[in-house]
Amino acid sequence: MARQSPLLPLYSAPDFEIGESNGTRIALRTKKKKEWDDYVADLSALRRRLFVGPAVPEWLANHNISAPQGLLKYNNLEKGAVIVRLHRQQYLLIDSVEGSSYDDVFSIEQRRHDGILVIAYEAAEIACGGPHVEDLIAELCPMNVAINEPNSWIATRFAHCELAIRHLAEPSHYRILCSPADARFVFEILFEVTLERDGVALGFNDYRALINLGD
Amino acid sequence: MSVGWAPAGGLLYQAGAGLEYDTALEQVVPKTLPAGLYCAGRLNGVFDYLDQIDDATAAANGALGYLGFSVPTVTRPVRAARPHSHQYPIMPHAKGREFVDFDEDLQVKDLTIAYREGFDSVELMKRYSTIGMGPSQGKTSNMNGVRILGKLQGKAVQAVGVTTPRPFTYPVPMGMLAGRRLRRQWCTPMHEYHEVERADLQEAGTWLRPMSYTRGSPRAAIEREYQMVRKQVGIIDVSTLGKIELFGPDVIPLLEYAYTCSFEKLKQDMTRYIFMVDGSGTLVDDGVAARLAGDHFYLTATSSHAQAVVRQLQQYADQLGFNVAIMDRTFQVAAINLAGPLSADVLSRLTDIDLSPEKFPYLALREGQIAGVQSRVLRVGFVGELGYEIHFPASHGKALWQALLDAGATEGIGAFGVEAQRLLRLEKGHLIFGQDTDGTTNPFEVNLGWGVRLSKDRFVGKHSLTKLKPMLKRRLVGFISPADSDNRIRECHLVIEQGAIAGRVTSVAYSPHLRSVFGLAMVDLSLTTLGQQLFIRVSDSTMVDATVTDMPFYDPTNERQKIHITNNRDMA
Residues 6 or more apart whose CB falls under 8 angstroms from that of B155 comprise none
Q: At what angle do helices B142-153 and B108-116 cross, to 10 degrees?
A: 50
Give the residue with greater pLDDT, B140 vs B324: B324
Q: Specify the pairing of strand A24-30 against strand A3-4.
A: parallel
What pLDDT is recorded for position B542?
A: 94
Q: Count other Cβ atoms within 10 Å, centred on residue B271.
A: 24
What pLDDT is recorded for position B139?
A: 86
Using alpha carbons, select from A121, A135, A136, A123 the residue that is nearest to residue A40: A136
Give the residue with greater pLDDT, B86 vs B203: B203
Q: Count other Cβ atoms within 10 Å, centred on residue A79.
A: 14
DSSP code string of B151-174: HHHT--HHHH----PPSPSS---H
Distance of CA B264 to the CA centre of its chain: 33
CB-nearest partner of B395 from A3, A185, A193: A3
Four-CA torsion B278, B282, B284, B290, nearest 10 degrees: 80
Work out the average pLDDT over B386-412.
Answer: 97
CA-based nearest residue in chain A for residue B394: A122
- CA end-to-end distance (rounded Å), chain B: 64
* B16 torsion bin: left (phi>0), alpha (psi -120 to 50), beta (else): left
Band (pLDDT 50/70/90 cuts) for residue B572 is very low
Give the model confidence (pLDDT) of B130-163 as tens digits.
999 988 888 889 999 999 999 999 999 989 988 8
Question: Considering chain A, what is the average pLDDT of its residues?
Answer: 91
Q: Specify the pairing of strand A39-42 against strand A200-202.
A: parallel
The CA angle B466-B467-B472, to the nearest 5 degrees, is 105
Q: A135-144 long-range contacts, Cβ below 8 Å, gap at least 24?
A: A135/A197, A136/A38, A136/A190, A136/A193, A136/A194, A136/A197, A136/A199, A137/A165, A137/A174, A139/A193, A139/B179, A139/B180, A140/A189, A140/A190, A140/A193, A140/B180, A140/B182, A141/A165
Give the model confidence (pLDDT) of B450-490 as tens digits.
999 999 999 999 999 999 999 999 999 999 999 998 899 99
- Cβ pair B513, B554 in contact under 8 A: yes
pLDDT surpasses 70 at B325: yes
What pLDDT is recorded for position B510?
A: 95
Q: Is A121 on the interface with B (CB under 8 A)?
A: yes
What pLDDT is recorded for position B96?
A: 84
Distance of CA B362 to the CA centre of its chain: 30
Residues 6 or more apart whose CB falls under 8 angstroms from that of B154 comprise none
What pLDDT is recorded for position B563?
A: 64
Give the model confidence (pLDDT) of B89-138 as tens digits.
888 899 888 999 999 999 999 999 999 999 999 999 999 999 999 888 88
Query: Which residue in B310, B395, B398, B406 has the most chain A C-beta atoms within 10 A of its own C-beta, making it the best mutation to test that interface?
Result: B395
pTM of the model: 0.82
Q: Specify the pairing of strand B234-237 against strand B414-415.
A: parallel
pLDDT surpasses 70 at B205: yes
Using alpha carbons, select from A158, A116, A121, A163 the residue that is nearest to residue A22: A121
Q: Report ipTM (2 d.p.).
A: 0.95
- Going along chain A from its start, the domains and CATH numbers come out as 3-44+123-210 (3.30.1360.120), 48-120 (3.30.70)
- Cβ pair A173, A212 in contact under 8 A: no
Band (pLDDT 50/70/90 cuts) for residue B566 is very low
| Separation CA B277–CA B246 (nearest Å) | 19
The verdict on a CB contact (< 8 Å) between B187 and A161 is: no
Instruction: Please state whether the peptide bond connecting residue B459 to the residue before it is cis, i.e. omega within 30 degrees of 0.
Output: no
Which residues of chain B neighbour A159 with C-beta distances below 8 Å?
A: 182, 184
Band (pLDDT 50/70/90 cuts) for residue B3 is confident
Residue spans of the domains in chain B: they are: 10-160, 183-241+336-429, 243-329+442-470, 473-572
Band (pLDDT 50/70/90 cuts) for residue B570 is very low
| Separation CA B205–CA B241 (nearest Å) | 12
What pLDDT is recorded for position B568?
A: 40
- Cβ pair A93, A65 in contact under 8 A: yes
Give the model confidence (pLDDT) of A51-85 as tens digits.
999 999 999 999 999 999 999 899 999 888 999 99
Work out the average pLDDT over B39-49.
Answer: 93
CB-nearest partner of A3 from B187, B192, B396: B396
What pLDDT is recorded for position B197?
A: 94
Q: Is A138 on the interface with B (CB under 8 A)?
A: no
pLDDT surpasses 90 at B84: no
Q: Domain B473-572 class?
A: mainly beta
Which residues of chain A neighbour B175 with C-beta distances below 8 Å?
A: none
What pLDDT is recorded for position B331?
A: 97
Which residues of chain B neighbour A6 with C-beta distances below 8 Å?
A: 187, 189, 394-395
Q: Specify the pairing of strand A200-202 against strand B27-32.
A: unpaired
CA dihedral over A59, A61, A65, A68, signed as positive or negative: positive
Q: Which residues pair with A192 in a beta bridge?
A: none
The verdict on a CB contact (< 8 Å) between B188 and A181 is: yes
- Residue B418: in which H helix or E strand, if any? helix B418-427
Query: Which residue in B331, B369, B370, B396 has the most chain A C-beta atoms within 10 A of its own C-beta, making it the best mutation to test that interface?
Result: B331
Band (pLDDT 50/70/90 cuts) for residue B564 is low
- Residue B444: in which H helix or E strand, if any? none
Per-residue tens of pLDDT for chain A, all 215 residues: 789 999 999 998 899 999 999 999 999 999 987 888 899 999 999 999 999 999 999 999 999 999 999 998 999 998 889 999 999 999 999 999 987 779 889 988 668 888 899 999 999 999 999 999 999 999 999 899 888 888 788 999 999 999 999 998 878 899 999 999 999 999 999 999 999 999 999 999 999 998 876 54
What is the biggest distance separating any 2 CA atoms in chain A, rounded to whole angstroms? 52
What amino acid is encoded at A13 in this protein?
Answer: A
CA-based nearest residue in chain A for residue B185: A185
Query: Which overall architecture, per CATH, does domain B243-329+442-470 show?
Result: 2-Layer Sandwich (3.30)
Q: Give the number of A-B residue pairs with CB atoms closer than 8 Å.
A: 99
Q: What are phi and psi of B275, to 5 degrees?
A: -150, 160
CA distances from B24 to A198, B20, B47, B142, B307 (A): 65, 12, 14, 19, 55
Nearest-CA distance from B412 to chain A in Å? Answer: 24
Give the model confidence (pLDDT) of B253-289 as tens digits.
999 999 999 999 999 999 999 999 999 999 999 999 9
Using alpha carbons, select from A20, A93, A26 the residue that is nearest to residue A56: A93
Q: Which residues pair with A99 in a beta bridge?
A: none
Q: Count other Cβ atoms within 10 Å, centred on residue A14.
A: 6
Residues 6 or more apart whose CB falls under 8 angstroms from that of B54 comprise B74, B75, B76, B77
The verdict on a CB contact (< 8 Å) between A120 and B372 is: no
Q: What are phi and psi of A32, to 5 degrees?
A: -80, 140
Helix ranges, B67-137 (H): 108-116, 122-129
Least confident range from A63-72, B285-294, B412-421, B527-536: namely: A63-72
Residues 6 or more apart whose CB falls under 8 angstroms from that of B21 comprise B27, B28, B156, B157, B158
* Burial class, B71, CB count within 10 angstroms (exposed 0-12 / middle 13-18 / buried 19+): middle
Nearest-CA distance from B190 to chain A in Å? Answer: 10
Band (pLDDT 50/70/90 cuts) for residue B51 is very high
Say yes or no: domain B10-160 is CATH 3.40.718.10: no
What pLDDT is recorded for position B571?
A: 35
Give the model confidence (pLDDT) of A174-193 as tens digits.
999 999 999 999 999 999 99
What pLDDT is recorded for position B567?
A: 40
Q: Domain B183-241+336-429 class?
A: alpha beta
What pLDDT is recorded for position B569?
A: 42
